[in-house]
Amino acid sequence: MSRTAHPKLVVGWREWVALPELGIAAVKPKIDTGARSSSLHALHIEQFERDGAPWLRFDVHPLQRDSATTVRAEAPLLEYRMVKSSSGHATRRPVIVTQLELAGLCWPIELTLAARDQMGFRMLLGREALRGRFNVDPGHSYLVSKPPVRLVKPKKKKKRKKKSE
């Protein structure tokens, strides 16, 4: 019995995504098939209770090299999980489930929350979130996304040289 494969979109090693349930219109994750789970840079994480269920409140700086732009987010706590970093260090992290938008598609993903200050990207998108939806081309960036309009810097106009007479 043969299985017909549905063609998958190809994404680059970095893309722009949205996390609408968290109020994040744009964040640029590193697409990392070497990482199983996905992680979001979060600060001031606090747990509270809503309708008898555990929730988290946290701050996100979604843009690299911009600590002034802050999004305050809330989400139900799924669980705490031990996550091993690429250096082999294990830490206990809170896990949430939220919607991810990429390439016109939207689906729920699990996200661990961690301080990623020292990392180059504010978000890491791991293989569990991508499985069955995308193939990754590590040689290209932004194959299915563009930076949000407010992040695009206008091109500088070149000064025209005056003709000498």
pLDDT digits (tens, 9 = 90+) for 85-129: 777 889 999 999 999 999 999 999 999 999 876 677 999 999 999
* pLDDT at site 25: 93
* pLDDT at site 63: 87
* pLDDT at site 1: 47
Work out whether the CA dihedral 49, 53, 54, 58 comes out positive or negative: negative
| pLDDT > 70? residue 36 | yes
CB-based burial label for 41 (10 Å; 0-12, 13-18, 19+): buried
Cα dist from 45 to 41, 95, 101, 135, whole Å: 11, 12, 23, 33
Q: Give me the chain's average pLDDT, please.
A: 88
Q: Pick from 41, 9, 26, 3: which is nearest to 130 by CA? A: 9
* pLDDT at site 150: 62
Residue ranges of domains in the chain, CATH in brackets: 9-145 (2.40.70.10)
Distance, CA of 6 to CA of 3 (rounded, Å): 9
Q: How confident is the model at residue 149 (pLDDT cuts 50, 70, 90)?
A: low
Work out whether the CA dihedral 8, 63, 75, 92 comes out positive or negative: positive
Could you tell me where the beta strands, DSSP code E, fall in the chain? Answer: 9-12, 17-19, 24-27, 29-32, 38-41, 43-50, 53-60, 71-84, 90-102, 105-114, 123-126, 134-137
Cα dist from 157 to 20, 147, 152, 154, 163, whole Å: 35, 21, 15, 9, 18
Q: How confident is the model at residue 151 (pLDDT cuts 50, 70, 90)?
A: low
| pLDDT > 90? residue 52 | yes
Which tops the pLDDT comparison, 159 or 141?
Answer: 141
